[in-house]
Amino acid sequence: MTKFANFHCLLLLFFFFAAVAPNFNFVDASALSASSSGFLSLSCGASSSFTDSSGIQWNPDDSYINTGNTTAVLSLSNPHGTSPSRLPLRFFPNSDPGTRSCYRIPMPMNVSVVLVRPTFLYKNHDLRNQPPSFAVSLGTAIAAVVNLTVSDPWVEEFILLVRKKVMVFCLLSVPNGGSPVISSIEVRPLPDGAYGAGLGGDRWNHLLRKRFRINCGYNGSEPLRYPSDPSDRLWDADRYFSPSRLSAGFHIEVPLNVSGLIESPPVAVLQTARVLARKNVLAYNLALDILGDYLVVLYFAGILPVSSSFDILVNADTVRSSYMVHHGEASVVLQLVKSVDALNIMFQNITFYPQVNAFEVYEIVEMPQEASSTTVSALQVIQQSTGFDLGWQDDPCFPLPWKHVECNGSLVTSLALSDMDLGAMGLTFGDLLDLKTLDLHNTSLAGEIMNLGSLQLLETLNLSFNKLTSFGSGISTMTNLQILDLKNNSLEGAVPDSLGSLKNLHLLNLENNKLEGVLPQSLNRENLQVRTSGNLCLSFTLSTCNNLSDHPSLQPPHFTVVDIHKHSNHAKKAKIFGVIGVVCCMIILISVAIFKFKRWNETDAATSNPWTTAEMQSWNATKIFTYKDIKVATNNFKDVIGSGGFGNIYLGKLSDGKLVAVKVRSDRTQLGADSFINEVRLLTQVRHPNLVTLEGFCHESDQQILVYEYLPGRSLADNLYGPNNKKATLDWACRLKIAVDAAKGLDYLHNGSNPRIIHRDVKSSNILLDMEMNAKVSDFGLSKQVSQASASHVTTAVKGTAGYLDPEYYSTQQLTEKSDVYSFGIVLLELICGREPLSHAGSPDTYNLVLWAKPYLQADAFEIADECIKGTFDVESMRKTASVAVRCVCRDASGRPTIAQVLAELREAYTIQLTSSSTGGNLN
């Protein structure tokens, strides 16, 4: 046992140091649930673990949060019951109103109801004598407003259903509220089904905030809690609520059977009571200060030698009449009381003995619905493409809307980004189906206006001050558009007729573009204002163009220059790397990284050699190129063979004649050196026929260049959808072969390599083909290594590509191999259906491949099979593949197969297909 505990300590220490180094912030599930009873007790700002006087183990909080400052305060009363009088705490200075400072708290396993108890203490740690006020949220709900006073600590208790593996608990700054501060967080499992009435059954849309939990007749100086209450609720003495001077506190130790009570109140609590022996009423008057709905829970136990009977009234309504409490029996009464701000609880009868043993009062707090996963995924991708951390995490609308986002309920109705470099119009704005306002002014958008046609509710679209050159085709389908602002772009040619179909449009601003010609007459309407100044020659009649000399286009257009922030931090980082001698630095960095991983991997069996000889050899096998080498090999970056968010890929030829693909990261995507090093390190360790081989790399000055083997067959995405796609020639057998190959590569990452590797960006454009159509998985820039022995999952910021992102991963931020399985399932769907994961081609409900395909796959996959392969596939082979695919994209990760299972089933499907094509049987 002690060995085990030590091991956990070591792990915790490791996490502490790991958290200091970026990229290594793993959280180990087993270390989190320190107690077998499912208790989690975090001492905020503490530097080490300790055990309190009740035998509960407390851990530091730094594995669960990555913001805030820590300090300690002097306190006479110590809630942990231990002697030290300096209590640690964590505070969040300089938080703008609306800032979320969040803990990610793992929920105990196999528990459906939990109690979460944060404690807040101020004690003038900042010497300003201004106790702060702030709000706290659980999931999407603002659960309470904390208004600290000098009489702190302030203790909140919340009861909620466990919906996710990880609960997000945030402190939210309010205007003039000061710096939020927190001392501890406790999580306690409660019995299944407890407080069901208040939690709304299976509807999961409420949480309970404790207002009172009174142990009637109890007169101790401290609340009764663990171990008397195995769920560690705090049962307060009732002397401050002493209902009536006439009633007496009873304490009688009668054996009680409480197994019939779902809430399982502690027997010790039920063995005390307030009893009224005379003809009078026993009443509690409780002020609640917030008008709302409340759950009242009353406990009764027959501790008196006689059975009693009485009426129970809440706010003058009779809840039970002639309620009987029999000797030796315990019972509970739950009552919902709506729209009140005070409670009067009365027990009355003329003849018998009204009594109450305990009661609880909970405020019912609504838990708003989360935004749809498509919306969240699209916004995450947009955030990534800005190169900024916009602070977009968890739900966009609740507890408070993200910066730049506005919501109506759980729908994202407005997005406003400006003065940043979005670069491409191809981003997934079209996924934000509920948008009414989209403001992207001054975001360096270039080219055609694209992918917005699905925004059927959009009313205001501001694309001004960009570099757009053409209208594209989507605009005319945005039928609700009222304001379209395209001023100060580079739009050329004529204004398309189709704009006339926007019947609700009342302002069209085309100022300062390079448009010319006659405006469509359909725009010449009374209720539509069209602004055209600053163009070459644009009007409703040709004649006004004749007199060119007084045309506004001849005056210089008045562009407003707006400063576009650069990602200065990253650029700086990259430069520093460049200055410190290049390759040496790289090797040291990578060695340190490997060393760390080995350490992490071998906490209990440390070896003196930080990395194995085999690894060093494989490392040596990777060539380090100079920038000059690269320039020569690529013929001064002549042939672009691919491009993406990361930059361009060039064709190169090494001195030995070998063709290579040279991936050059553009400035904007140089993420420190982290992801670059990540990819180099991983690729030097893994070699497999179905993984793209790294030939070498260059890390000089500002350059981050990776040199891969060249695969002339291009990517699967190119083959399916590219300009010269070979979709028609990819028959079913060929598609299955590609699937099997890619699955082999992933299987190697998940199961063949040690540590295991999660790819995190599986998609059809990362599956490359060689001349013989063998498939290889590429692009390890986002991949993560996971130690075999320890973590079953890691907590990490969500990265990946829209359309392929595992919904469970982005809602819980818990990364497992099953996330790759999900993405691979999307690739399988692409192979079956021959369409992209997100496509604006059809109606909004066909937009998302999974949502569209799932019902068909379960019923009749042939319906949606790619036209190009109809007639080429064996029915059984297709059915098998569809069945794997649909399980891969199961929303719940535990319902998904492992990649090894996927591979086995795909192999079978492939064999069936080959056998059937050679015998000519069973084709559809």
Ligand X SMILES: *[C@@H]1O[C@H](CO)[C@@H](O)[C@H](O)[C@H]1NC(C)=O
Please say which residue, 119 or 173, places its beta carbon nearer to ligand X.
Answer: 173
* Neighbour tally for 3: CB within 10 Å: 8
CB of 351 vs ligand X, minimal distance in Å? 5
Q: Of all residues in this chain, which one has the CB nearest to ligand X in the complex?
A: 260
Task: Determine which residue in the list 257, 473, 524, 911 makes contact with ligand X, applying CB under 6 A.
Answer: 257
Binding of ligand X by 351 (CB under 6 A): yes
User: Which residue carries 């991997």 as its tokens?
Assistant: 601
Cα–Cα distance, 705 to 714 (Å, whole number): 19
Degrees, nearest 5: CA angle 445-446-449: 85
Torsion of CA 787, 793, 794, 796, to 10 degrees: 140
Q: Which is nearer to ligand X, 311 or 908 (CB)?
A: 311
What does the alpha-carbon distance between residue 282 and residue 244 come to, in Å, rounded to a whole number? 7
For 716-742, b where at least 16 C-beta lie within 10 A, e where not — what string? bbbbbbeeebbeeebbbbbbbbbbbbb
The CA–CA distances, whole Å, from 782 to 388, 760, 762, 766, 799 equal 17, 6, 10, 12, 7
Task: Tell me how far, at minimum, the Cβ of 237 lies from ligand X, in Å.
Answer: 7
The reply on whether position 84 binds ligand X by CB under 6 A is no
Beta carbon of residue 625, minimum distance to ligand X (angstroms, whole number): 39
d(CA 453, CA 269): 63
DSSP 371: P
| Contact window for ligand X (CB under 6 A) among 255-263, 382-390, 452-460, 613-621 | 255-263
Q: Is 194 exposed, middle or buried (0-12, 13-18, 19+ CB in 10 A)?
A: buried
For the segment 222-241, give every residue that binds ligand X (CB under 6 A).
Answer: 239
Determine the longest span between alpha carbons in the chain, in angstroms: 109
Which position among 156, 311, 770, 908 is part of the footprint of ligand X (CB under 6 A)? 311
- Own/partner long-range contacts of 472-475 (Cβ < 8 Å, ≥24 apart): 472/448, 473/498, 474/430, 474/449, 474/450, 474/840, 475/449, 475/499, 475/502
Tell me the two tokens of residue 888: 């891969």
Instruction: Give the pairing type, strands 507-509 and 694-698.
Output: unpaired
* Residue 406 binds to ligand X (criterion: CB under 6 A): no
Considering the rule CB under 6 A, would residue 24 count as an interface residue with ligand X?
A: no
List CB contacts of 113: < 8 A, sequence separation 6 or more: 159, 160, 161, 162, 189, 190, 191, 192, 193, 194, 195, 199
CB of 628 to ligand X, least distance (A): 42
Verify cis geometry, omega within 30 degrees of 0, for the bond prior to 189: no
Binds ligand X by CB under 6 A, chosen from 59, 63, 99, 133: 133
Q: Which stretch binds ligand X (CB under 6 A): 345-353, 440-448, 795-803, 893-901?
A: 345-353
Tell me: does residue 579 bind ligand X (CB under 6 A): no
Q: Of 147, 470, 591, 901, which one interacts with ligand X (CB under 6 A)?
A: 147
| Residue 24 or 352 having the CB closest to ligand X | 352
Q: How far is the CB of 208 from ligand X (least distance, A)?
A: 21
Question: Is residue 322 near ligand X by the rule CB under 6 A?
Answer: yes
Smaller CB separation from ligand X, 350 or 579: 350
- CA distances from residue 318 to 299, 323, 879 in whole angstroms, order as listed: 16, 11, 62
Question: Nearest 5°: phi and psi at 576?
Answer: -55, -45
The piece of 95-103, 182-190, 217-225, 572-580 that touches ligand X (CB under 6 A) is 217-225
Task: Single out the segment in contact with ligand X by CB under 6 A; choices: 350-358, 605-613, 676-684, 758-766.
Answer: 350-358
* 309 scored as a contact of ligand X (CB under 6 A): yes
Choose, by CB under 6 A, the member of 260, 712, 855, 871 that binds ligand X.
260
- Determine which one of 761, 806, 866, 874 is catalytic: 761
> What's the closest the beta carbon of residue 698 comes to ligand X, in angstroms?
35
Quick check: 698 and 639 in contact, CB under 8 A? no
Member of 25, 37, 69, 307 binding ligand X (CB under 6 A): 69
**Contacting residue, 6, 219, 729, 843, with ligand X by CB under 6 A:** 219
C-beta contacts of 648-657 below 8 A and 24+ residues apart: 651/710, 652/707, 652/710, 654/695
**Nearest CB to ligand X, comparing residues 792 and 919:** 792
Minimal distance in Å, beta carbon 413 to ligand X? Answer: 6
Q: How far is CA 358 from CA 235, 242, 279, 486, in A?
A: 9, 12, 21, 67
828 contact partners, CB below 8 Å, separation of at least 6: 739, 881, 884, 885, 888
List the one residue out of 82, 61, 64, 86 whose CA is nearest residue 73. 86
Among the residue ranges 346-354, 456-464, 596-604, 892-900, the one whose residues contact ligand X (CB under 6 A): 346-354
Q: In angstroms, what is the minimal distance from the CB of 119 to ligand X? A: 18
**Binding of residue 215 to ligand X (CB under 6 A):** no
Confirm whether 293 is a catalytic residue: no
Minimum Å distance from CB 375 to ligand X? 15
Question: DSSP of 701-722, one letter per residue?
Answer: TT--EEEEE--TT-BHHHHHHS
Q: Does 110 bind ligand X (CB under 6 A)?
A: yes
264 vs 315, beta carbon nearer ligand X: 264
- For ligand X, which stretch binds (CB under 6 A), given 257-265, 530-538, 565-573, 916-924? 257-265
Find the binder of ligand X among 151, 221, 527, 636 (CB under 6 A): 221
Q: Binding of ligand X at residue 93 (CB under 6 A)?
A: yes
Q: Which of 85, 318, 408, 843 binds ligand X (CB under 6 A)?
A: 408
Query: Between 412 and 775, whose beta carbon lies closer to ligand X?
Result: 412
59 is an interface residue for ligand X by CB under 6 A: no
Residue 329 near ligand X by CB under 6 A: no
* Smallest separation, CB 621 to ligand X (Å): 42
**What are the DSSP calls for 616-660, one per residue?**
HHHHHHSEEPPHHHHHHHTTTT--EEEEETTEEEEEEE-TTS-EE
Q: Is 349 in the site for ligand X (CB under 6 A)?
A: yes
Report if residue 149 touches ligand X, rule: CB under 6 A: yes
In terms of CB distance, is 145 or 616 closer to ligand X? 145
Strands 784-786 and 308-314: unpaired
Distance CA 53, CA 57 (A): 10
Q: Tokens 């990555």 map to which residue?
A: 66
Instruction: Compute the C-alpha angle 749/755/758, nearest 5°.
Output: 45
Which residue's CB is nearer to ligand X, number 259 or number 568?
A: 259
Contact 378, 366 (CB under 8 A): no
Least distance CB 16 / ligand X (angstroms): 15
Q: Is 66 in the site for ligand X (CB under 6 A)?
A: no
Nearer to ligand X, 28 or 679 (CB): 28
Instruction: Pick the closer one to ligand X by CB: 456 or 922.
Output: 456
Of the residues 109, 587, 592, 728, which one makes contact with ligand X according to CB under 6 A: 109
H or E element that contains 819: helix 817-833
Closer CB to ligand X, 90 or 737, in the complex = 90
Residue closer to ligand X by CB (options 351, 655) is 351
Number of residues that bind ligand X (CB under 6 A): 22
d(CA 265, CA 268): 8
Name the one range near ligand X by CB under 6 A: 312-320, 344-352, 633-641, 729-737: 344-352
Where does this chain touch ligand X (CB under 6 A) — which range of 52-60, 213-221, 542-550, 624-632? 213-221
| Cis previous bond, 108, omega within 30 | no
Half-sphere exposure of 337 (CA within 13 A, CB side): 25
Catalytic residue numbers? 761
For binding to ligand X (CB under 6 A), which residues are involved? 69, 93, 109-110, 133, 147, 149, 219-221, 239, 257, 259-260, 309, 311, 322, 349-352, 408
